[in-house]
Chains A and B, each alone.
Chain A
């Protein structure tokens, strides 16, 4: 009866330390499970096809493309775009030429655009150019921000027939670690559909 009796029939007994340890244990187990849940949620993917290009996006990405351009926002807020463009008539086979031409175009279109690195990769047996770049987001609507919003991202440029596909992955600078983590998965998932050849 004493264990379930109401408050004031006796002086309060001190709370045992074991109760605190049990609460701490519950919290640690919950945090561990939450971390596993997070990893599972962030690593899940879903297939997407844009033109003849297939890739695996993080599951539950939110599509937002316009004007024939595919765009999606991943659950952690990264922007993925696939922009089909006409393949250049000359130099289309050279990935570094593709990357340089793209950097010049973007430099004219975006504020304070800078190329950080230029590299070469492969999609299947096709050579591809890779750009790491940064620019200032001049369209940011956050007027309360005390600093400029710097966008940091990667672009991969690969031709297929008469199409040049530009795969973009970018996010605000604060999410650069997430961009770096997703980029290899994204590139490794790229495939060209046979029918589009």
Chain B
């Protein structure tokens, strides 16, 4: 007869916990830990990215003459990767019950980047040539942003998770959906930023740097939203229609973000990234707050609810 043990502490599960993964103590620990640290870490990362972008934009007029194109290109590459890794680390740190294997998280991130470079960007830039017509009207812009980058990104992130880690035994908590969804979306965001870099040859220290930071922030947000739905479906046992609902929710948020960024950024003749940066930061803060609240509530109810017999 197999002895069932807690996946976190390894203690033997009592009869009342048979069929589950964790003992009461571990569940209570997680629920009691709450999300205070996570809230602070997320807020700190948001502030760090916004402050970094703001500093670059503020110093851009001074630094532009002192920094040549090669350095700006390298800076662009660094900015493409570093915020994505910071976000990934943050979400990874939230997996308190049972940390995910590093190689799984990194693999999904890389898969997202590959799908972005091989599927999403060619579809957007070559097949649909969205850059040529999407901004021809307010409604057209909004619909195009939802239907194309929104749906394509969310769908690819869904399949990147669905057919890799989701069927494995590692994908056993709701927060896993957020971790892997964010990892896939961040990979797709890296592909979008690399496309931006390649098209421009380099970046301006002000607008370009902020654009890359904003994109990273936004993709992390959509990934978290999609991931929340993924967690509802698999470990949560939710109905299948939550999958397209999550994709649509992430797509609509993505579309709204792109539309708002376009509306706020194009005042006068030039592009002003400041309103976009602030709006995206606010948007991300609200989304993360809602996601964390739902997660926290789920964990608390998990720890306090009567135990169900496992299947």
Contacts and interface: CB of A to CB of B under 8 A. Distances in A.
B237 interface: yes
A13 B172 CA distance: 10
Contact of B136 (A4, A11, A41): A41
A7 interface: yes
Contacts of A30: 146-148, 151-152, 251
Given A19-B233, A22-B243, A8 B311 contact: no
Contact of B27 (A8, A23, A25): A8
A151 B263 CA distance: 32
Contacts of B235: 6-8, 12
Nearest to B175: A7
A34 B152 CA distance: 11
A15 B308 contact: no
Interface in B296-311: 298-299, 301-302, 305, 307-311
Interface stretch (B36-44, B82-90, B103-111, B125-133): B125-133
A10 B20 contact: yes
A10 B311 contact: yes
B172 A12 contact: yes
Interface residues of A, number: 45
A142 interface: yes
Contacts of B171: 12
A15 B136 contact: no
Nearest to A44: B136
A62 to B, nearest CB: 10
A166 B195 CA distance: 37
Nearest to A22: B244
Given A8-B97, A41-B137, A18 B128 contact: no
B292 interface: no
B22 A35 contact: no
A1 B306 CA distance: 11
Given A7-B302, A22-B243, A26-B248, A34 B310 contact: no
B247 A41 contact: no
Query: Chain B, interface size: which category?
Result: 35 or more
B211 to A, nearest CB: 18
A60 B137 contact: yes
B19 interface: yes
Contacts of A1: 308
Nearest to A2: B237
Contacts of A22: 240-241, 243-244
Given A23-B158, A37-B144, A38-B133, A142 B244 contact: no
B243 A19 contact: yes
Contacts of A4: 236, 238
Contacts of A18: 240
A16 interface: yes
A34 to B, nearest CB: 4
6 A-B pairs with the lowest CB-CB distances in the bound complex, closest first: A76-B132, A19-B240, A7-B235, A6-B302, A144-B201, A19-B243
Given A7-B302, A19-B244, A34-B147, 13 more contacts: A2-B237, A5-B236, A7-B231, A9-B307, A10-B237, A11-B311, A13-B234, A19-B233, A26-B155, A27-B152, A75-B132, A76-B129, A77-B132
